[in-house]
Structure 1
Amino acid sequence: MKFTKITTSLVLASCIFTSSVIANSDIPANITTPDVVKTQAVGDLHFKDGYPSDETMSKVQRYMYIQRAVNVFTDGIQISSMQAIQVGLESIGATSNKVIPISESFLDSKSLWLTGNTSTPYALFSVDVKNGPIVMDLKTPVLGFIDDAFFQYVGDIGVGNPEDAGKGAKYIVVHDSYKGEIPEGHIVLTTPTYKHWVAFRYADTKQIKQFKETFKMYRLGEGASKVKYMDISGVKMNTVHANNEDFYHELNEMIQYEPVTSGDPHYRGLLAKIGIEKGKPFNPKGEQLEALKEAAGIANVHARNEAFRPSNKDSYFYGDKRNWFLPFGSTMSYQFIKDGALYLDDRTAFHYVATGITPLMTAKFDGKGSSYLMTTTDDKGEALDGNEVYTVTLPPNPPMKRFWSFMAYDNQSRSILATEQRSGGFDSQGELVTNEDGSVTVTFSSTKPQGKSNWVQTLPNKGFFLLYRMYSPTQEWHDRKYMIGDLIKQ
C-alpha cells in the first residue's frame, strides 16, 4: 500500500445559459468545507470548492491508516496475547489437546506470563476444536475457566461451574458449527473459535497429584487417550505479545487460523483496512510498514498510559484516598460493559497486564473467589523505583477466608520481577511478622532489611508495579471498608 498522490483530471463542460448563474446562498455554512482546513495532526488540508487536492487526500489516507492501525492494536491486544500464549506453549512442546503444562513448584520469572503469580499452582493448556469437539473428564476440584481465541469467556470449569461445583464432571468443548450428536451427561461449552486457553488453579500440590491420576482429555469419538503432563516451574518461555510492528503479524496468524465467522465484524473491518484479511497474504513493506511502526508506537504508549495511570478515575478502588486501582477498571465486568457501553480503555488496560477472563474475577462473593488491586506509584504519585525502599501497611484482621498476596512485576514485561527472591512476592501463608496492633508492614527494596521482616525484593534501576490479591475476601472487603495503605518511600 502506498500513500502517494492521486492524479486526477476533472473535465468541466461549458454550458451557456441565457439567464445568469446564481450561487445557492441558502446552503448552511456548517455543512460546507472551507478551502483550507488547519489541523495539528496532519497540517493544512486544501480543497477547491469542497474537492480535496491530491496532497490532501494522500495526507488523510495515511493518517486514517495509522489511526485504524492504532485501534487494531488497542482493541486487539487480547487476540495477539492469546496468539503469544499459543506460540509460547508450543515452543516448549505443549501441543493442544495432548500436553498439559503444570507449575508444580509454582511459576517464576523464567517464564514470561502477564502478571503470573507464585502463590498457587496452575495448569495452563491449549484446546483446539478445529477437527472436532474435545472432551475433558474432570474428577477433582479445580477453579478453572476456558477462553476462546479472541480471549472471550466461554465457560467456567470445576468449582465455579454450578453443574460441577467441585464434584467433577464431563465437559465437551464444541465449535458452534458442529452438527453431530453430543453425548448426554456432558456440560456443553459452545464456542465460535477453534483455539482456546484453559487455566486450572489448584489449592495445593496434593490436588495436582489427584488431578494427574484421574483427568482425561480426548477428541470426541476417539476414546480416552493418555494425556501427557509437563512441569513448567523454572522453564524458560515467553507468552507475552509484541509491542512493536510484530504485533500485527501475531494478529494475522490468529486471523488466518480462525474461521471468518468468529470475531466482531467491525473489528474485522478495521483489520481489513490495514491489510489483514483471512486467506490473503500480509507482508507490509515500504510506507505501509513505516505506518505500522508508527501506529504500534502510539498504541503501545496509550496501552501503557491506561494500564499504569488509568484515565478513568472511577477505577481507583478507594477513590482519591489511595493509589490502588482495579485492573478491570470501573465496570467490574468481565465484558467491560457498563450502562450499555463497552469501556474500550478499561479492556485495553486489563489485557495489557493480565490474562484470563471469567465472571468469577469480578463477582462479589462473600468468602469466595478472589479480588485484585494494582498500583504503580507511591503515596506521592511517583512511579515505583527499584533504587528506593518502600513500605506498605495492612490494617489488622484482613477480611478474607484464605490469604492475601503481594506480587512485584517488571514494568517492561509485566511478568514476575526477576530477582534472587524466586517467589517474586510475599503472602500471608508464610512466616508473618506482625506489629503490636496486629497490622502487617511489608518492605519493598533491593536488599533485605536487617532483622525479621516481611520483604519483597526489587531490582536497582528497574521500575516495577504491584498486584495485591485477596483470596476468598468477605463482604467487608467488597464494601471497601478495609483500606490498605499506599507505598511510602523511606
Structure 2
Amino acid sequence: MQRRFLSAAVFAALATTTPVSAKDVLSGRVETHIGRIELQGGYPSASSVKKIYDEMDFQRASQAYIWATPIVALEAIRRANKRDWGVDYNEVGLVDGYTTPAVIALTGNNTTIYAAVFADLQRDGPVVIDSPLGVYGVIDDFWQRPVVEVGPFGPDKGKGGKFLLLPPGYTGTVPDGYLTAQSKTNQVIFIGRAFVKDGDIKSAVNTLTGIKAYPLSKAGNPPETRVVRAGERPLNSVAPRGFEYWQFLADVLDRETVDERDRFFHAMLKPLGIEKGKPFKPDARQKKILTDAAQVGFLMAQTISMAPRLDNASSYPGTHWEWVLTLDPTQETANYSQLDERTDYTFEAITVAEGMVKQIVGAGSQYMSAARDKDGAWLQGEKNYTLHVPANVPAKEFWAVTVYDVLTRSMVKTDTMTAGVSSQDKLKLNADGSADIHFGPKSPRGGGNWVKTIPGRGWFAYFRWYGPTEHFFDKSWTLPDIERRG
C-alpha cells in the first residue's frame, strides 16, 4: 500500500513538475514547438532523437551565424581585396578617389579616401605598419576589436609612426623605436583614411600611398610595399549568403586562435563539421541544416541591426535615428560579452575604434542611422522622402548623409552613381541656411540635394559628423526624422 502511495505521489509530481507529463508518457507523445515528439516509456523514439538533434544543430547554427558576423565580414573583405584588386597581405589597397557605388562594401562612404592593409602574424611573425603623418584609422583584430588606433587617438598622437604588431602569445624580443601592440588574433586589418582639404583629393591619396607594411624580420632592409590603386574598379566585399557563409567561417576559424570567450561556440559548431584543425566536409544532413540556418541567421542578424532592442540604441529620443555604435570597442561589459551589440554594428559596418565613440569636442567622428520614416515605416526605394537638415550642423570639419541598400548594406547603386550628399558639395540651401535632402526614384521639382533610390528595394541612411562640436553632444542641435512626401 505504501509503495502504491509513493508511486502515485511520484506520478503526480511528474505531472506537475516536469516538461513531459505523466499523461504524455502514457500517450506516447508530446507536442512541442518543433512538432510532435514520439515517446517510448518517456524516452524519445529513434526518429524523435534524430529530430531533436537536427533541431539542436539548427538552433546552434543560427546563433553561431550571429556570433560569426564580425570575423566572416573581415574574411570576405580580405578575399575580395585579393580576388578583385589583387591585393595580398602586407600590401596597400587604395581607393584613389572618392568611393563610388561600384565598390560593394559595408557602409562605405564617398566623402573620405580609404586604404586597407591586411597582415598575417602567424605567417610572418611581428609585422611593422609604418603610417605617415595625416593618416587616421585603426588596426583591428579579426573579431573587429581595436589592437591600436592610428592618428590623434593613437599613441602616434596624429604624427604618424611605426607600429609593431605582435602575434598572440608572442614572447620574443621587442626592439625599441616602435609603437608596439599585441593582437589577440593571427590576422589584423588596418583601415586608414585621409581627409580631403579644400577639394585636394590628390594630396589625400598621396598621403595614403606612404603607408608601408613588412615583417619585422625584414626591418633591416624593408621591401618596397606594393600599393594597388583601385581606381574605379569594382569590388564586392560583402559576406556571401547561404552555405558559402560557413565555408568562409570554417576557413578563417581554422587559421585563427580560439578565444576563451568563444569556446562554447566552437563546441556547438563541431557536430556540424566545423572544427579547427580538421577539413570542412559536411555530409548532406549537416549541409542542409547549415544552409537553412544561414537564411534564418541572416534575418536574425538583420533584425538585430535594423530594429535593435538595445536600451542604448536611440540617439534622438522621439525620432527614429539610432546610434550606429551601441557596443564598447572591447566588446565586453562587466558581466557579459556583447553579442547583440556587436552584431548590431558589424552586420552593417566594419572596424571599430575608440575615436568613433569617444565624446571629444571637435575631434573624431560620430554616426547615426535611420531605417524608418517619421511614421515608423521602413524606408522604401519607390517612395519619396525629405530630410530637413537644420542650419549650423555641429561639425567642425563637415557632415554627410549617405544612402545604403538594405540587403548589401552598401551604397545604393543607380545610374547616377551618387549615393549621398555632404556639406562639401554645392548644396542648395534655404534662406535660413538649412538644407532639404531629397530621396526617391525621381528628382524633385527644382532639383538639387537629391539621392536616387531603387523601387522595390528598402534603404537606410547614415548621417556622419566629422569633428562634432559641443552642440552635437549636448543635443541643443537635433536632427529630425526623414519624412515621406507625396
For the pair 1:148 / 2:114, whether they are aligned, the reply is: no
Equivalent of residue 215 in structure 2, options 216, 219, 228: 219
Equivalent of residue 364 in structure 2, options 351, 354, 369: 369
Residues 88-237 of structure 1 correspond to what in structure 2 (within 5 A)? 88-91=80-83, 92-97=85-90, 99-130=91-122, 131-161=124-154, 163-204=155-196, 205=201, 206-212=203-209, 214-222=210-218, 223-237=221-235
For the pair 1:441 / 2:439, whether they are aligned, the reply is: no
Shift of 1:361: 1.5
Identity of aligned residues (%): 26
The 8 Å contact of residues 193 and 208 in structure 2, kept in 1 or not, is answered as no
Shift of 1:22: 7.0
Equivalent of residue 21 in structure 2, options 34, 44, 52: 34
Distance, in Å, in 1 between the alignment partners of 2:333 and 2:185 is: 26
Distance, in Å, in 2 between the alignment partners of 1:178 and 1:456 is: 49
The 8 Å contact of residues 142 and 185 in structure 2, kept in 1 or not, is answered as yes
For the pair 1:456 / 2:456, whether they are aligned, the reply is: no
Report the TM-score when normalising by structure 2. Answer: 0.90
- Once the two structures are overlaid, the 10-residue window that deviates more, 139-148 or 57-66, is 139-148
1:460 and 1:438, CA in 2 relative to 1: closer, same or farther beyond 3 A?
Answer: same
| Matched length | 466
Query: What do the CA deviations read for 1:425-462 (whole angstroms, capped 9, x no partner)?
Result: 00011112221222211111223233352222222333
Distance, in Å, in 2 between the alignment partners of 1:112 and 1:448 is: 24
The 8 Å contact of residues 114 and 415 in structure 1, kept in 2 or not, is answered as yes
- Once the two structures are overlaid, the 10-residue window that deviates more, 233-242 or 472-481, is 472-481
Matched to 1:403, the amino acid is F
The 8 Å contact of residues 406 and 458 in structure 2, kept in 1 or not, is answered as yes
Q: Secondary structure at the match of 2:468?
A: coil
Shift of 1:87: 0.5
Matched to 2:233, the amino acid is V
Distance, in Å, in 2 between the alignment partners of 1:300 and 1:32 is: 31
1:14 alignment counterpart: none
Distance, in Å, in 1 between the alignment partners of 2:332 and 2:254 is: 28
The 8 Å contact of residues 33 and 49 in structure 1, kept in 2 or not, is answered as no
Equivalent of residue 351 in structure 2, options 344, 356, 373: 356
2:465 alignment counterpart: 470
Shift of 1:336: 4.4
User: Unpaired segments of 5 or more residues in structure 1?
Assistant: 1-18
Distance, in Å, in 2 between the alignment partners of 1:386 and 1:32 is: 48
Residues 223-262 of structure 1 correspond to what in structure 2 (within 5 A)? 223-260=221-258
1:424 and 1:291, CA in 2 relative to 1: closer, same or farther beyond 3 A?
Answer: same
Structure with the higher fraction of residues in helix conformation: 2
Distance, in Å, in 2 between the alignment partners of 1:386 and 1:439 is: 25
Shift of 1:215: 3.5
Distance, in Å, in 2 between the alignment partners of 1:211 and 1:418 is: 26
1:311 and 1:353, CA in 2 relative to 1: closer, same or farther beyond 3 A?
Answer: same
Distance, in Å, in 2 between the alignment partners of 1:352 and 1:338 is: 20
Distance, in Å, in 2 between the alignment partners of 1:90 and 1:69 is: 28
For the pair 1:289 / 2:284, whether they are aligned, the reply is: no
Distance, in Å, in 2 between the alignment partners of 1:273 and 1:375 is: 39
The 8 Å contact of residues 174 and 188 in structure 1, kept in 2 or not, is answered as yes
Equivalent of residue 54 in structure 1, options 27, 37, 46: 46
